[in-house]
Structure 1
Amino acid sequence: MSARITGLTTRLITVPLLRSWGAEAPENHVIVTELTTDDGGTGHGFSWTPTIGPHAVKALLDHDIAPFILGLEANAEIVWDQLWKRLHEAGGGGLTTIAMSGVDLALWDLKARQAGTSVTGLLGQRQESVEVYGSGVNLHYTVEQLVEQAQRWVAAGHNAVKIKVGKPELREDAERVAAVRQVIGPDRLLMIDANQRWDLAHTFRALDVLGEYGLEWLEEPIRADDLWAYRRLRKHSPVPIALGENVHTIYRFRDFIEAEAVDIIQPNIVRVGGITPFRRIVELARTNSIRVAPHLLPELSGQLALTLAEAVSVEDVEDASFEQLGILAGPSPVRISNNTGRSLLSSTGRQGLGFDFTGKQSAPGSSASENSASENKGNLIEYSNS
């Protein structure tokens, strides 16, 4: 007889970033989940959002998801499909799927721990290691700071790097892209990410100017839900188009792929709802010969990347991993190393997802966002439902 779910608890951790992502994103939020079953099993998962809605996600988990999943078979795929149907009235993706990841990840963690292996081992490791590209949320950096960051990426062995664009004047973007290209040289890959700051007309102007720097891809220049604009953009763009961090369902990924509006999809495992939908989206991309580049969260996306049939690159935003933020109770489940001039990620083989979050809590009344980043590693604000 299959185990049944008996409980779900949550706690919210807010942690300041060591390198601020700008005034709109000085901190990240993790909603830690713990799921129990009637055979004594325990699985640990999480939801994540860098800016909007952490309390809303926690409320969904506490008040709508936890009661609904009680008594369900502890099978990630079965639970995911039933839960998505239940929550769809509140939206097919976004806060709903972000919340769902807390359950899905806990169920995969539970299954792997009970099998005595890692999630990577449970799914089947196909890649010994995967390449890591250097990334930064750096539009607010001065050119000098951006150059220093690019120099650190080169020293770390990254063969590909990604920077933000979207300054008020196109000439500013051109100056910054040119400066980074000079630092990394002609052979490393250079990607740019506009984070939905442009319209279609400006995107074409930007491609005329920035395309000469040999871009590997242009990421999310236009609002992510504007399928019509992306279809037209990709038809005429000399640079591959990447998107997906703000696409939350397999149906929407299918729409972009079938419309021939994207070259590289970038699903965020948490934002799409966990490992279950991520695997389905990757298979959709593979059957349509579309490249995949998982978005953020190297402790999680790195492990999943090792299980994929096709080699992918994993994004590592400088000083923003869970381990670097000081919110893991133990070592990271992945290691990133400079191997013969290449930056590679490999698994440590720890059981389940391979990590738990610290229970450390800041002093009552403290505000993590009021202090400097250098003072704040591990200075957490935590809310619990227990």
Structure 2
Amino acid sequence: MSSSHSVSQELFSKEFTQDPYPVYEKLRQSEPVLKVMLPGGQFTWLITTYEDAVTVLKDQRFIKDMTKIYGSRDSHINASNLLTTNMLFSDPPDHKRLRGLVQKAFTPQLIHGMRDRIQDIANELLDEIGSRPTMNLIDEYAFPLPIIVICEILGVPSEDREKFRLWSNTIIDASNEETGKYFEQHANEFLQYLRDWFEHVREEPGTDLISQLVAAEEQGDKLTEQELFSVVALLIIAGHETTVNLIGNGMLALLEHPEQRKLLLEQPDLIQQAIEEMLRYNGPVEFSTTRWAGEDLVFKGHTFAKGDMVIVALDAADRDPAQFKDADLFDITREKSPHLAFGKGIHLCLGAPLARLEGEIAVTTLLNRYPDLQLSQEVKDLEWRSGMIVRGVKEIPLTLLP
């Protein structure tokens, strides 16, 4: 058995989900461009070095719209195509049009103007914890904060956030056997919810982003009905998933490196660098979304056939010692790093400035309120989510020392 085959056997195992970095190190050294089988039985090329990752993310021969390979999709909106017609899964010129419709809601000025509101949400969530001796970081803080924010931007009721969480977890973790069996049911419930909400917005439009998108769809030339569903579903899911795991993984890194936490408490102005290092060190998005070879091509000596699937291991690239000095070291004083946590090229995450701001406020507020908080469980006993895209822990139980 070749070494590459044995390494690809280690991928996606329980041990790998817990700590993928030793496997990534082997891959970067021996097989940085490797054809592997995914849990669902599909083959993909997996890219693990930083240099190759940047090349693939920016190379327009690797396309996002699979209809260019496999023909047109069913135009009837259903569970399987709910997320297929948004900017994340399109190429120019569609990509520019779709991104342009939502970009204006995520400008740096608008995001900066939300700072006070995000701070209020963080304070309210911690006020609810009050003087209790314990909390579950994910359920009670890291999840509700960004979902409340994205619900307010979109104009959907934030009291429906538990439903969004359930639907979004199922859709993102579709490759996981356990959640995968509910995929159709939960995606259809999500679809029906959006259908009802768009109806409500048509009757009573507001100033929120969904109202603007529904208006664009009604004009007919800017957005098709299928694109409307797909763009809004993406914004609800991506609008909180990244930040939940940025806060979770980031706090976990601080808990595992008490000297770094002490440094941050002593020098709070390091928070922006700390957030960048959290994103690099154990990023919330482990794998890029799928790309396809748009033509027969040779990449790094490997022959890719038109239609081959390609995935970039973002977290592997962000620990590449060829790019980052002491790459396995968590160091919040690291100079601004060109990490790939939000991708690269035209598909660079639209919500990156929002996620950064939410992470900054969430971590600062939590540490100020509970400077001596501790993990109530061994790190090795924490359970990591097993989907293919996000990297995050299901629960982080904390002991809050007054």
Q: TM-score range by the shorter chain?
A: under 0.3
Structure (1/2) with the larger strand percentage: 1
Report the TM-score when normalising by structure 2: 0.26
Report the TM-score when normalising by structure 1: 0.26
Structure (1/2) with the larger helix percentage: 2
